[in-house]
Amino acid sequence: MSAAPNAGPGGEVPDPVVVDAYATGLLATTVTALPDGGHHWLRRPGPRAPEPFTPVTARLRALVERASAAPGTRLLMGTAAPDGARTYAAPGPYSVAHRLIAGGGPHAVPGGPRALHATLREVGALLAALHATPVPEEARRPARAAVRLHAWLSGSTTAGGATAADLLGGAAAGPLRLWAAAAARPATGHVLSHGAPGLGSLLLADAADAADDADGAGAGAAVLLTGEDLCAAPPHVDLGWIAGELAEFRWLLGASADPRVWQRPLDALLDGYGGDPATARDGCVRGAALRIALHAHDTAAYLPDGAGTARRYGALATALAEGAAA
């Protein structure tokens, strides 16, 4: 009998190794490297999360996996684990968000900017396919993020003691409250949505496995962790989530760089999504403002000493909201 894959000289198999772990009051994540070269992601709601992850029925799982049938980047559904957690067998130890922050921009993503653009184009196509799927009854619930944001914007909650007016100002809080209410209420125009397709849930293979050719090959190894927030929402909730994060990264990492460095990933996302470009962009601005306002809330509410950073996110959300409402 042959030794197990990656076994040592004596046939022993090394134990899994935790390569990353981080947590806030909202979400805790542990990433483990497996002996076979894969990675295991364990995510669970944090101790102060207002709601658990959304349940996933067999029918909902099948619908989502059907939307992810095309080659390339795919929606990776998690498996239920104890204490309300989800686990994922993923291609790499770090998310796109981690790579951008640690490396200072798109050049740090495995495969470089071309691979990032190709991946986001595929993510756009995935979201379009998901949004075109009829909403099953068990997914007719609002996005957890929209509920959390609307409760804060309407004055039902505070974020670490801060009101929406404290972090956003009264002028921006008004339109944001209306947009969040529209996202949180049932409506005929709502679509089956990922609910929180962040760059922190988008995983690429390690650099050694990502080819940086002229077409951005290697992007097909990417997965978008999916299932914790499946819901019914306006399309701009999903698109705006990613657009908002790209706006944050441009603001935090590349404000003085060529603006195309951050515009091109957004263009790739919208190109992959298709439809009317003007409508998509208008929706993206509103959705991005909502995403960044939520980030202001979550930073203040779930991170120790997050008030200063939350105010900076609030300023960015305010600028976007005022522009979208003009």
pLDDT over 70 (residue 216): no
Residue 84 per-residue DSSP state: G
- Would you place residue 324 in the very low, low, confident or very high pLDDT band (cuts 50, 70, 90)? confident
Lowest mean pLDDT, pick from 17-26, 211-220, 285-294, 302-311: 211-220
Nearest of 232, 245, 228 to residue 291 by alpha carbon: 245
> How many CA atoms within 13 Å lie on the side-chain side of 143?
30
Is there a contact between 76 and 224 (Cβ–Cβ < 8 Å)? yes
* Predicted confidence band of residue 254 (pLDDT cuts 50, 70, 90): confident
Residue 256 pLDDT grade (very low, low, confident, very high; cuts 50, 70, 90): low
**Strand, helix or coil at 227?**
coil
pLDDT value at residue 207: 56
Q: What is the pLDDT of residues 118-135, one digit of tens each?
A: 999 999 999 999 999 999
32 close to 42: Cβ distance less than 8 angstroms: yes
pLDDT > 60? residue 219: no
Average pLDDT over residues 138-150: 96
**At residue 149, does pLDDT exceed 80?**
yes
pLDDT of residue 11: 52
Which tokens hold the place of 243? 């657009």
Mean pLDDT computed over every residue of the chain: 89
- pTM recorded for the entire structure: 0.91
| pLDDT for residue 3 is more than 50 | no
- Please compute the mean of the pLDDT values over residues 162-173 and round it to a whole number: 92
State residue 15's pLDDT score. 75
Taking a C-beta distance cutoff of 8 angstroms, is the pair 68, 29 a contact? no
Three-class SS of residue 7? coil
Pair 301, 254: CB distance under 8 Å:
no
Residue 213 has pLDDT above 50, yes or no: no
> Residue 37's pLDDT is what?
85
Check whether 206 has a pLDDT greater than 80: no
Confidence of residue 10 (pLDDT cuts 50, 70, 90): low
What is the strand order of the sheet 39-45 is part of? 17-23, 27-33, 39-45, 85-90, 79-81
Q: Would the pLDDT of 215 be above 90?
A: no
